Amino acid sequence: MDACHEILGVGTVTIDNFIFVEKYPTSDQKEKIVAEHRSFGGLVGTALATAARFGGRCVYWGIVGVESDSRSVIEGLSDAGIECINLIEKRGVHAVHSYIIADESLHTRTIFFSDPLCVMPEREQIDKSIFKTVKVLLTDQTGIEAARCAKQLGVPVVADMDWLGRSDEQEFMEIVDHLVLSAEFARSVVNKDNPAEIVHSLQEIGDRVCTAVTFGAEGCYFSSKTDEDRVKRIPAFNVPARETTGCGDVFHGAYAFALTLNYSIHECMLFASAASSLYASRPSGWEHLPNLTEVVDLIRQQQINIESID
């Protein structure tokens, strides 16, 4: 593999089908479609596209199907500046589709998706050579075997989690070096409501560098080894919210990119928060991802201070 790669992505890339309505209907009701469009998404796909947008040298690896939609996904990654290497083609594997109903009055969305587990690389399919020249692995729960391999080789793992109740849930949290979760998922994992308690509880699982939980307009809470596991908060950047689909994925991609620049944890958190805030103010789609200059300018303009919580 080309030695210039910095970020390896293993995990879910989706074809997102957006339907925009004035308000999400209740059961047995009808609602007129205001607009609709199709784009690429998924945690790992959008995170890689974000890092590539900033100039990061990104590569994707995994199992793909041979049907036309899988080919479209590969082309979409390539168009975003992400190289696809040594992909394992497998008949019966299909591109993951998500169907996103966006409520334009409340700026909320409801997501339906097809099962992504069909694209999970198995242990015997992992080629360890692809980890030797990268600085960071970006993954989700479908990439647990890749995360295990990265951990063994000393490659930092940046990840999110979406599915509760998996048998490998605990192990995955122990493997990940930089875990960034949504507030909803984090609450469900530790059964707590207080942000500081949530972060503390998660940080105690495994030997982790940093744990962060995003709380939307309330900002982001995080804890890291460099702060002796004290909880800190980054208030949300002041931008008008338009569409929040994919904001968490943008956060992960920006965070991973900042890690490749050897930013401190505080700097990574500020950079990722600014990037995801900018994306929330725009329509969804990789073509609307912020660039490096926009993120740096927002950080300079708003001068957000990191607050100590405990």
d(CA 230, CA 224): 7
Spell out, as residue ranges, where the chain has pLDDT lower than 70.
Answer: 1-4, 115-119
Domain ranges of the chain: 7-308
Phi, psi of 269 (to 5 degrees): -65, -45
pLDDT digits (tens, 9 = 90+) for 34-84: 988 888 999 999 999 999 999 999 999 988 888 898 899 999 999 999 999
What value does the CA radius of gyration of the chain take, rounded to a whole number of Å? 18
HSE-CB of 138 using CA atoms within 13 angstroms: 38
HSE-CB of 84 using CA atoms within 13 angstroms: 22
Q: What per-residue confidence (pLDDT) applies to 119?
A: 59
Number of neighbours of residue 263 by Cβ within 10 angstroms: 16
Q: What per-residue confidence (pLDDT) applies to 4?
A: 61
Query: Does pTM top 0.85 for this prediction?
Result: yes
Of 191, 293, 297, give the one whose Cα is nearest residue 239.
297
Q: Which two tokens stand for residue 268?
A: 């990574």
d(CA 184, CA 87): 33
Q: What per-residue confidence (pLDDT) applies to 195?
A: 94
Domain 7-308 has CATH 3.30.420.40: no
Helix (H, G, I), strand (E, B) or coil at 181: strand
Q: What per-residue confidence (pLDDT) applies to 122?
A: 78
